[in-house]
Amino acid sequence: MGNIQKEMKLAKFGGSSALNSDTLVKHNPIGAQSIANAVSVLSSGRLSEFVGEWCDEFFGGTWVQELEEKSAKLFQSQYAITVNSWTSGLVAAVGAIGIEPGDEIITTPYTMSATATSILHWNALPVFVDIDPRTYNIDVTKIEASITQRTRAILAVDIYGQPADMDEIKILARKYGLKVITDSAQSPGAKYKGKYAGTLSDIGGYSFNFHKHIHSGEGGICFTDDPDLALNLQLIRNHAEVVISTKGHNNYVNMLGHNFRMGELEASILTPQIGTLEIIVQRRNQLANLLNLHLSSNSGLELPIVAPDRTHAFYTYAMKIPRQEDSGVKRSEVADALRCEGVPVAEGYQNIHLLPLYQKKIAYGSNGFPWNGTTNRREIDYSKGICPVAEEIHESRVLALGLCTYDFSDTQIEEIGFAFEKVWNYYYK
């Protein structure tokens, strides 16, 4: 292990930690040009140039439009529409496809909560399908069984940085006349069969909040190749109900007032970063490869699998530890020991179908709307056990290392490897 002092006594029992966590540097993609741009915007006093009526400023200011143009070109999408957060982007995307109250959208439970609340926003109902134990993305072999007469879309999530199996998802979508939305918040720069994540569906996109590969504090972007969907996204973003009569727009579905607009300050900070994304993703892959090298000897530790037809952005490096019933070891013990060694691991992610919102089926008001609405009287099951793979992975098996949280050095990755060696030597040998 190079120059690492190989003291095998665990830090939690008084030994020296393998990694000095005080040396970890938070990931910061904001460079000199972003700072200069921000100063310029602040000096101008024009922090936003959107106007909520049909005019030249309806589409935003100079920086917003430049960011959209550069993003569309880089990611090879016909249209790029910025938003003030990816949560807003998901809400706009679900509305843009013409969803109706009581409609159903199939998605995964192993994701951030906004994936599903964007469906509830339009009084539609999320239906959760289990995940693939290898990629953690939605299990495409289980989607068809959940399609009903009220299903209108599949909302796939490219979790941890790896795209979902988009070809199989689109085959199902064509068979049943469904739209496809991709939540690629964690996967900017990753590719599926040579095409960028977030650009492979009717609408997709990325998050630009503070712990992503590139960011502006908060922000997001939607991609589509469909001009009608692009216009719907732009309208929903910017007070649609005021604009449609002036514009002469003849589609009134979901044209509700929102302010999902990105400011000039955020756009000016993001624009230079677009060109650095490839380098950042390459570095995350280098770190992942080093982790593979240093962790591969730990018996029973399952390292991330990258499908051969896609690339990974490694927002998170997710591992599975041996099952407790096989090893007798609780994940919490392992995670605690690693943290004592200085390794900032997280346990699991979340299963949103088990949140109180879905268990109690209370969202709007106190009487169970939209589940008790008259447009869909089907009883949708959110009980524990409907997604056993996701539940087991979250509750007891996954350890996650955020590769976009810190700018790890090669030496620190080696020290992380030594920390795992110590912990594995104690708990699993």
Where among 249, 275, 301 does a domain terminate?
A: 275
Final residue in a domain of this structure, among 275, 303, 325: 275
Whether 303 and 333 share a structural domain:
yes
Q: What is the torsional sign of CA 359, 365, 369, 374?
A: positive
Could you count the other beta carbons within 10 Å of the beta carbon of residue 391?
Answer: 20
CA–CA separation, 415 and 333 (whole Å): 20
Ranges 76-80, 192-196, 247-251, 344-348: which has the least confidence: 247-251
| 355 part of a folded domain | no
What proportion of the chain, given as a percentage, has pLDDT over 90?
Answer: 93
Boundary of a domain, candidates 275, 306, 333: 275
Determine, yes or no, domain membership for 364.
no
Residues 418, 300 share a domain: yes
Residues 294 and 228 in one domain: no
Its domain, for residue 300, covers: 11-25+277-349+389-427
> Is residue 403 included in any domain, yes or no?
yes
Helices then strands, counting H and E runs in the chain, come out as 14, 12
* Angle between helices 264-274 and 62-74 in degrees, nearest 10: 30
The predicted structure's pLDDT at residue 52:
93
Do 156 and 124 fall into the same domain?
yes
- Give the full edge-to-edge strand order of the sheet including 316-320: 316-320, 398-402, 345-347
Please write the tens of the pLDDT for every residue from 350-379. 999 999 999 999 999 999 999 998 888 899
257 and 309, same domain (yes or no)? no
Do residue 157 and residue 40 come from a single domain? yes
407 and 340 within one domain: yes
For the cut 90, the answer to whether the pLDDT of residue 98 exceeds it is yes
For residue 264 the two structure tokens come to 């000039």
Task: Give the whole-number percent of the chain exceeding pLDDT 70.
Answer: 99
Position 264 in a domain: yes
How many whole angstroms separate alpha carbon 209 and alpha carbon 418? Answer: 32
* pLDDT tops 50 at residue 330: yes
What average pLDDT does the segment 291-312 reach?
97
Q: 257 and 164 in one domain? A: yes
Residues 6+ apart with CB under 8 A from 359: 382
**pLDDT of 247:** 82
Query: Does some domain include residue 369?
Result: no
Examine the domain organization and report whether 234 and 312 are in the same domain.
Answer: no
Question: Per residue in 208-254, pLDDT tens?
Answer: 999 999 999 999 999 999 999 999 999 999 999 999 888 877 889 99
Residue 180: give its domain's CATH number: 3.40.640.10
253 and 286 share one domain: no
Residues 220 and 188 in one domain: yes
Residues 244 and 281 in one domain: no
Across the chain, what does the average pLDDT equal? Answer: 96
- Evaluate whether residue 5 is within a structural domain: no
Contacts of 389 (CB under 8 A, 6+ apart): 130, 131, 132, 133, 139
Q: How many domains does the chain have?
A: 2
Question: How is residue 276 written in tokens?
Answer: 């650095």
Question: Which structure tokens are listed for 150?
Answer: 């009220």
pTM over 0.85: yes
Q: Is residue 368 part of a domain?
A: no
Does residue 111 belong to any structural domain of this protein?
yes
pLDDT digits (tens, 9 = 90+) for 28-47: 999 999 999 999 999 999 99
Give the CATH number, domain containing residue 20.
Answer: 3.90.1150.10
pLDDT at 6 over 90: no
